[in-house]
Amino acid sequence: MKNITIKTEADGFIVAVLDMPGRPFNVFSEDMMADLETLIEQVLTDCNAGNAPKGLVLTSGKSSFVAGADLGMIQDFGAMRFTANWQQMRDRYSNLGKLFRRLETLPVPVVAAVNGLALGGGFELAMACHGRVCVDAPHAQLGLPEVVLGLLPGAGGTQRLPRYIGLAPGLEMLLGGASLSPSAALERGVVDKLASQEDLISSAISLAGEISAGARWDKEGFELDSDDLAKIGDGFNDWALALCGIDKNTADLYPAIPAILKCVGDGFAKDIDAGSDVEWDVFVDLMSDPVASNMVTTCFLAKTAATKLSLAQLPKVEPVASYAALDGVELNPKVFRKVTQLASGEAELNVGPVGDEAADVFLAAQSASTPASGATPEFRFVGDFTKSEVLELYVGTDLEKAAKAMSLAQTSGKSVVLSRSAESVNKVLLATCGAIAANSDAQALTRAVAAVGLSKQMAEALSVDYAPTLEVQAADKQFGLDILAELSLAVATFAAAALTGDEDKDATLLAGIDLLSVYGTGFPKWSGGPLSCLTMFQRGELSSSKMNIADLEWTFKSPWGYKASKAS
């Protein structure tokens, strides 16, 4: 096995170390799953031969435990709806969950020694073990963030978490995506012990020697909380949404929310195997919806890859050690971490307002009337610069200066998208919002904004109040789709003008346009951004009288990712 190393301790315990070569984090790829299956088979073979180990400890050779699923595999999952049938999708999607169930039913005690981040599939792996010891350190977090990516934890997470910590707290984690610190995980009962980094493995071996094999729900006498069971049935969804502070409009727009509710509502009262079957069925239905693929692509894949792809387009420079915020610019010194903020004239890089000749890079807030950019690099943003998750770096004409600006931008922890267009896609969106507002009824616009989940910034650009929980009707949803169609068409024109003819560069460009739109002006995350939204119209997944498909010159996405092609 290339991803898992087995160490047999002198006292008869096995320690399996997950350590993917050439990767900073362990993730669940199909190779890792194959190695996990080999490990399970080896333990079973030893047990059947009368050489059963006293216990199995799973840990990581990285600074984190397991960070989730492999990016390439997730992207491939999203494309399967175009090529595979329902059963083929279920067989593949349920593979990891079935492995975890096999691990959970091993006839020897299995303990997870969680040494760092355990997110998504990593936390699901830990929960499939019979016991858990977690390092007592702030860098360790345990959680299921899938919902914020339009997904659900499909390897048993919707079934095991509520059984461990209770229905209400389980739902709050599943629908909110928040993680637990080691101490909170211990308090909630999903972790059995805390240990120092030095004592982690010995503590896990000790726990494996203290407990019996098997999950608590597989043992005689296990019962679910009667108060929790009473909440399952009529009114469950309404209760759960109110508990988690989720309004009806949001639940209607993001299919992962009702999917998680269905997994828990239909599976919680069943035994773990029947509950897992519910989860896997629902997961297939969720992945058949374009929203899941849109959100994974933009909010995870594109966001994760943006900075690396931007760096590849610039010359290498020494890291910037200091910067100055010139008059007219207010920057929180904590924004650029480990870079010293000095006075003007003393710093390596000057950040100034647009037009300041002393600035090496402009801080350019975007609006409908932002002037076109010139020779100087710019940090483009919408709203609050400090809170923004994604930053647009306009290159200008001096690549060396842009590379230094990139060096500074990297220290912010934001995803950085490189741009060569004289105008930002966010300016295009804000200007189009203004044009729509000039020809629309304000009350109808307000309801439409709520119906399709436009952001507060876009509501302001449309000159209406932001009222996301407003009760809406089908006509409001259609008007909202008409607005999205107009915005997507405007961005399509912008994107077509920026194409280079180089397939890889254009794929990066198109992904960046969607990413900037979602995390800039706040184009709805469920849509994946204006180009992904346009693709939904082109595929017939959305409809609008504003969208004449026959007139569109370009398509910008294929089932496997961003790709500019002439429309047929």
Give which of 170, 178, 185 is closest to 147, Cα–Cα.
178
Beta carbons within 8 Å of 394's beta carbon, 6+ residues apart: 364, 373, 377, 378, 380, 419, 420, 421, 424
By DSSP bridging, strand 142-143 and strand 179-180 are antiparallel
| The three-state (H, E, C) secondary structure of 378-447, written as one string | EEEECCCCCCCCEEEEECCCCHHHHHHHHHHHHCCCCEEEEECCCCCHHHHHHHHHHHHHHCCCHHHHHH
CA distance 461 to 475: 22
| Amino acid at position 51, single letter | N
Q: Which residues are catalytic?
A: 124, 146
Phi/psi region, residue 528 (left: phi>0; alpha: psi -120 to 50; beta: rest), is left
User: Is residue 57 within a helix (H) or strand (E), and if so which, with residue range?
Assistant: strand 55-60
Exposure string for 520-551, b = 16+ CB within 10 A, e = fewer:
bbbbbbbbbbbbbbbbbbbeeebebeebeeee
With tokens 């209760």, the residue in question is 239
- CA 440 vs CA 139, 437, 465, 482: distances in Å: 50, 5, 14, 12
**Assigned token pair, 454:** 């436009």
Q: What are phi and psi of 552, to 5 degrees?
A: -80, 130
Find out whether 364 and 354 touch, Cβ atoms under 8 Å.
Answer: yes
> Which residue is it, tokens 């003393």?
346
Could you tell me whether strands 390-394 and 378-381 are parallel, antiparallel, or unpaired per DSSP bridges? antiparallel
Cβ neighbors of 140 (< 8 A, separation 6 or more) are 65, 114, 115, 116, 117, 118, 134, 181, 182
Confirm if 13 and 205 have CB atoms less than 8 A apart: yes
Task: Give 146's contacts (C-beta < 8 A, 6+ positions apart).
Answer: 120, 152, 153, 154, 157, 177, 256
Residue 439: Cβ within 10 Å count: 6
Residues near 384 by beta carbon (within 8 Å), at least 6 away in sequence: none
- The C-alpha atoms of residue 53 and residue 106 are separated, in whole angstroms, by 11
Cβ atoms 453, 481 nearer than 8 A: no
CA distance 568 to 565: 9
Instruction: Give exposure, 263-299, as e/b (b: 16+ Cβ within 10 Å).
Output: bbbbbbeeebeebbbbbbbbbbebbebbbbbbbbbbb
Residue pointed to by tokens 């943003």: 381
Query: What's the distance, Cα to Cα, between the start and end of the chain in Å?
Result: 47
